[in-house]
Amino acid sequence: MRVAALYDIHGNLPALEAVLEDVRRARVDRIVVGGDVVPGPMTRETLRVLLHLDLPVDFIQGNGEVAVLAERAGRHPGVPEQFRDVIRWSGEQLDSEQERATASWPKTLTVAIPGIGGVLFCHATPRNDNEVFTRQTAEERLFPVFASVDASLVVCGHTHMQFDRMVGKTRVVNAGSVGMPFGKPGAYWLLLGPDVQLRQTPYDLDKAADRVRATNYPKAEDFAKRSILRPPSEEEMIAVFARVELK
């Protein structure tokens, strides 16, 4: 069995379309969507594609879905004020089917993959959908997070940068971000079975940026520039995350 892990799509439909073409070429049997399908500039359209795929798909919630659902329910989404407009706008895009679907997604998922064993999928860490760590986070900080994990492999996302590292005896892999990467432009994902492959899919960046600019997304121009055409470097974002990573 081959499983594709697609994380942090963030409503970037052109990136998702390109990755799905690669997924089909890879003869994937199953897809796991690892959270943060939303918020983003093509929220409704991206969810429509994922919820009606002709491949088996499992979903888990990310902090993005949690924030958007809270906003729709009239609660504070738990994000800084400068992000409230994109959370509010994304929430307004959901239809009733999409709202019910995203609300039903679990926080974690375990799948047995031949050649690997039990794989635990989570968004940020197994205990929290919003904790931050990177390839450079000190191992001793991560021991309490992964000590009780009973899986051969943990797959996470949230920080939008791929890595493959050990925490004690646990292998932890970040799938990267399909729609909002940090580092070289492109769409990043993970192919599992019988081994672990960090994958990157190129797509037409200029055309994708134009499609984003044609939406009513509140930060469409910024998304086109900084999430598609010229993302921040990994070095820059690792320095930013170092100030908020788990202690």
- Dihedral (C-alpha) 187, 47, 102, 225: value to the nearest 10 degrees? 40
Q: Is 242 helix (H, G, I), strand (E, B) or coil?
A: helix
Model pLDDT for residues 41-95, shown as the tens digit of each residue? 999 999 999 999 999 999 999 999 999 999 999 999 999 888 899 999 999 999 9
d(CA 214, CA 196) in angstroms, rounded, equals: 37
DSSP string, 60-106: ---HHHHHHHHHHTTS--SS-GGGHHHHHHHHHH--HHHHHHHHH--
pLDDT at position 232, please? 98
Model pLDDT for residues 9-38, shown as the tens digit of each residue? 999 999 999 999 999 999 999 999 999 999
Q: What is the CATH number of domain 3-116+174-231?
A: 3.60.21.10
Q: Where are the domains of the chain?
A: 3-116+174-231
